[in-house]
Structure 1
C-alpha cells in the first residue's frame, strides 16, 4: 500500500489494534507498510539541524503553556454543559 495520508493510516492501525483485529501496533504496521525510502542526515548540516531542534524545543515549551490553559478552559465548559 502506498499513501501520503500517514495520519489517517496511523489512526486506522490504532483502531485495528483497539478492535482486536491485530494483536499489536508493531504487527499491524509491519503487515500494512513498507519503507519506500531512507533519508539520512547530512553531516555538514549538523549545526543547522541543532539550531532547528533548539527552536522546536522552545516553541514546544511555549505552546505547552497555552495548550494547558486552553484545555482547562475547555474542561470547564464541558463540565458546565453537563
Structure 2
C-alpha cells in the first residue's frame, strides 16, 4: 500500500469514508475498513510531509527563506465574509 500515490490514497480514503458513513457494513468489515483508512491517512500524511520537505529544500537552494515562504495551511487567515 505504501507505493500508492497521494491521489490514490486519498481516493481510497474517501471511498472508505462514504462506506462507513452509510452504516450498512457488518462490524468486522467496518473495523477492517477503519484500519485501512487509518493506514491510508498515515500514507497521505507522510507523502505531504515529504513534498513539504522537498519544497523547503528547493527554496533554501534558491536562496529563499523557507520559514517565511511556507506557512501551514491551518494558520491561513479566514477570508470568508460570513461574519459581516
**Superposed pair shares fold, TM > 0.5:** no
TM range (shorter): 0.3 to 0.5
For CA contacts below 8 A with separation 6 or more, give which structure has more relative contact order: 2
Over alpha carbons, which structure has the higher Rg? Answer: 1
